[in-house]
Structure 1
Amino acid sequence: MLQLQARLIKSLSFSRLPPPAPSSSTSILQRVASSQPKGVAKVVLKKGKTQLFKNGSPMVYSGAVDRIIGRPPPKTGDIVLVADGTETPIGWGLYNSVSMFCVRLMQLEEEATRDPSCALDMENLLETRINAAIELRRGLGLPSDATNAYRLVNSEGDRLSGLIVDVFGDLAVVASSAAWVEKYKSQVEACISGIDEINHIHWRPSIEILKEEGMDASDLKELHPSTCPQRTKVLENGISYSISLEGQKTGFYADQRENRKFLSTISRGRKVLDICCYSGGFALNAAKGGAMSITGVDTSLPALELARENIALNYLDPEKISLLREDANEFMKGALSRNESWDVVIIDPPKLAPSRKILAILMYEKYAVLQSASGMYRNLNSLAMQITRRGGLLMTCSCSGAMTQSGMFLRTLQGAASMAGRKITVLRQSGAACDHPIDPSYPEGAYLSNILLRIL
């Protein structure tokens, strides 16, 4: 009898215990996905491919995918789980059925564990990431009384792959290069319009890239009629610029801001040549730095008109700054034939490296030999070295990601020096300004090289 009572008491005491808590090993993303009424498709990675993306690489290329679980299959712009070979989620992202990058990862499992409010919630994640980007720029002193042109969102560097936002005074220019950005256009605009100083938003889709994302170019043009003025004025390091929203990229190269400022410190009393001068960024800084004379060369008439406007905006002496419309190679060959030389030469050509598709191959199959781009850079820089006086300075740039990422640019410059019969020493190596952050797990985000050479 006593034994029966003891067993009864024991059973009753166990029955009063609370039910066991869910296993801590259960994926937070899997739990959130299971609660979705329509379910969430799962992109399962091939064996051996998981670690790259666990380490933070945001672009899941189609060759890394083993299978997709989910019926009906996901559509472009849909949220999907990304899982390892055991189908355990490692993160979530946005799917694209056409692009060579079939998923852009947005949040990893461990991040979702720390901050479940953003798990599989693109709107909340957008707001969180853009607010973090704003806070970062404020911490970098941007905007300021001297500078109101800066990059607010730098794609992978701000964990929003495919989205770039440049701020020019009270205007934000959105450069969209991913289908998901187009899908979430209204949410992106809502986040940006909440910034106190922003009064206008100009949407600038990268049409050629978006076509590769499966979007129709004609639809994009209809989706984004612009009501913004095509010109606006900005300040950078105390220098005024008129910029054209119809110009290259977003309209202004804020990435060279710190390099332009540095140039102003080495220009006093010197004869300066700015090759591929565009709207005069380096030339204006040389003038502000006290250069004796400046020559700017570009093939684009609209760019040179902007440069002339910027000279007037800053009340600079037009007699000291000559602007010439001419091909860079032809100008330098002519200068060489006339035995002309300059104390400081800047050459900042447009991108000469391979297309985006070739970059994708380079990204995942190591770097191929970039002979074509290397040859063009070598020839340009060889001419630039020959028209830089011995003992003078050459600031040479490459905005070709493949050249920067492969480490070939400096080797190419050494080859150019041999061609030119010159000896070079490296004085300074730089990249984009600090408001262009780079995620080390995505080194492909590093595209700009700015190298200062002494020519002997």
Structure 2
Amino acid sequence: MTMAAMAVLPSRFIKCFSLSSASAPVSTLQEIASASPQGVAKVVLKKGKTQLFKYGSPMVYSGAVDRIIGRPPPKTGEVVLVADGAEVPIGWGLYNSVSMFCVRLMQLEEEASREPTCALNMERLLEHRINAATDLRRQLGLPSINTNAYRLVNSEGDRLSGLIVDVFGDVAVVASSAAWVEKYKQEIEAFINKVDGISHINWRPSVDILKEEGLDLLQLKHASVASPSQVEVKENGIRYAISLEGQKTGFYADQRENRQFISTIAKGKRVLDVCCYSGGFSLNAAHGGAVSVTGVDSSMPALELAEKNIVLNGLDSERITFLKQDASDFMKKAAARNETWDIVVLDPPKLAPRKEVLQNASGMYRNLNALAMRLTKKGGVLMTCSCSGAMTQSGTFMRVIQGAAAMAGRKVTILRQAGAASDHPIDPSYPEGAYLSNIMLRVL
């Protein structure tokens, strides 16, 4: 068409003509996928679902998928493209044919354009992300002379959904909760072994979660490695004996900054630590100058570690005592004696692992907090915690606390709100990564 001919056309037609003549943007991921001799399957999203993942949400639920293009269909753990309704790739990730998480997105199209060496290449991406996670911890001052227990990789927070790595001294404990993590076990271990100071790796698959991921439990029989069953670490200058066969990865590094805060307000105070595990809050209180500390837990192995930690830190066993009792029973009996403490810490285990049990768990949290408030001296401090993701994400923990105050006949004010320590980053596009609530109250 000549310029003279175009001049007589309405402007809207000229605009349409220009748009149709313009070449469509080339997808970096599509180009790389096209060059793959094996081919790369494409997971096409339903209309209206694309923006959520463009904003960074890493979990593609099966309900968001419209169709899958590729023959044969992709297998669990394989790399796939994730595309919008027009079949234009928006990113790539790892597929799972069984899990409710159909794809765990690893890299978006825009990132692939900037970092094409990692595009559709899980080994290179793993190396890049683990190096980035290590650099972040160094920026946070971890490890240090005073602290060598910390989280190196925090799943979605470090953009490696399903992978958690905690470091205790020279031992890295890997918590695996995704099928792809098991598939890339050898590569993950190789990159972790390159991190300065790590000499051993302890692999701890989350069997129940991996079963939901469709893995045959027989596949999870890992070859035994020469790793110690117990290690000694330091956190904020306090020494701890850690059992690598204990709960979670062996130690609750997420409470590090909250434990240290307790040490700053404990001088001259009587402190009660309910659900004390191996004595983290108790030891910080004693280290901060508390006149007496009582720790309560129902686990004998945990209390054996707590007793060992008294010795490791040269603390006076007359000033710090650990008791094996059920938390609720202990608090009821103490309340019947009208016994109170200046500072009470309540850090119960996960009571609401799923949304389905949140209502029942809320009642348990309310009852425990009401008892803890009754044991807090008038004008004293209660630090109450919930490590239940369902509770934290629902935003109902504060209402539970208000209900507990009414039940106990006490008035509370909020002094401090916190979550997990800074080496537990959270991706704002995946708020489900937030699980720990730590609220400090003044109780009147």
Q: TM-score, normalised by structure 2?
A: 0.94
What secondary structure, in the 3-state scheme, does the structure 1 residue paired with 2:363 have? Answer: helix
CA distance in 1, matches of 2:196, 2:358: 45
Which amino acid in the other structure matches residue 95 of structure 1? Y
The answer to whether 1:291 aligns with 2:279 is no
Match in the other structure for 1:34: 34
SS in structure 2 at match of 1:256: helix
Query: Partners of 1:392 and 1:24 in 2: how far apart?
Result: 66
CA contact (8 A) 1:401 1:448 kept: yes
* Mapped contact 2:27–2:109 kept (Cα < 8 A): yes
Displacement, 1:291?
Answer: 0.3
Query: Pick from 403, 417, 442: which aligns with 2:430?
Result: 442
Aligned residue for 1:75, secondary structure, equals coil
Question: Matched residues in 1 for 2:358 and 2:306: separation?
Answer: 33
CA apart distance, 1:224: 4.4
| SS at 2:323 equivalent | strand
1:390 pairs with one of 374, 378, 382: 378
- Give the CA deviation at 1:229: 1.1
- Find the aligned partners of 1:236 and 1:370 in 2 and give their Cα distance: 33
Give SS of 1:37's match: coil
Q: Distance in 2 between matches of 1:247 and 1:224?
A: 19
In structure 1, stretches of 5+ residues that fail to align are: 1-21, 360-368
**Which residue of structure 1 aligns with residue 171 of structure 2?**
171
| Residues 149 and 166 in structure 1, CA contact (< 8 A), matched pair in contact too | yes
Q: Is the 8 A contact 2:353 2:389 kept in 1?
A: no
SS of 1:265's partner is helix
Work out whether 1:254 is the aligned partner of 2:242.
no
Residue correspondence of structure 1 range 349-388 to structure 2 within 5 A: 349-355=348-354, 358=355, 370-388=358-376
User: 1:180-218 CA deviation, whole Å, 9 max, x = no partner?
Assistant: 000000110111101121111111111110010011223
Counterpart of 1:408 in structure 2 is 396
Match of 1:429 in 2: 417
1:367-419 CA distances to partner (integer Å, 9 max, x unpaired)? xx932121111010000000111101000000011111111111110110000
> In the alignment, is the contact (CA less than 8 A) between 1:104 and 1:161 conserved in 2?
yes
What CA distance in whole angstroms lies between the structure 1 residues aligned with 2:23 and 2:170? 50
2:338 aligned partner: 339
Residue of structure 2 in register with 1:217 after alignment: 217
* Aligned match of 1:118: 118
Aligned equivalent of 1:274? 273
Q: Pairwise mapping of residues 4-403 of structure 1 onto structure 2 (< 5 A)? A: 25-220=25-220, 222-355=221-354, 358=355, 370-403=358-391
SS of the residue 2:86 aligns to: coil
Distance 1:122 1:23 in 2: 31
Aligned partner of 1:309: which letter?
K
Secondary structure of the residue aligned to 1:228 is coil
TM-score, length-scaled by structure 1: 0.91
What CA deviation, in whole Å up to 9, does each residue of 1:426-447 have, x standing for no partner? 0000000000000000000000
Structure 2: stretches of 5+ with no match in the other structure: 1-21
1:77-119 Cα shifts (integer Å, max 9, x gaps)? 0000001111111100000011110100000000101111110
SS at match of 2:265: coil
- 2:439 matched residue in structure 1: 451
Contact 1:45-1:82 within 8 A present in 2 as well: yes
Q: Which amino acid letter does the alignment assign opposite residue 37 of structure 1? A: P
Contact persistence 1:203–1:224 (CA under 8 A): no
Question: Partners in 1 of 2:328 and 2:217 — Cα distance?
Answer: 34
Per-residue deviation, 1:354 = 3.8
**Structural RMSD (CA):** 1.2
Q: In structure 2, what residue type is equivalent to 1:371?
A: Q
Deviations 1:58-87 (A, max 9, x none): 010111111111000000000000011111
Match of 1:7 in 2: none
Q: Which amino acid aligns with 1:430?
A: A
Question: Following TM superposition, where does structure 1 have runs of at least 4 consecutive aligned residues deviating by more than 4 angstroms?
Answer: none
Identity of aligned residues (%): 74
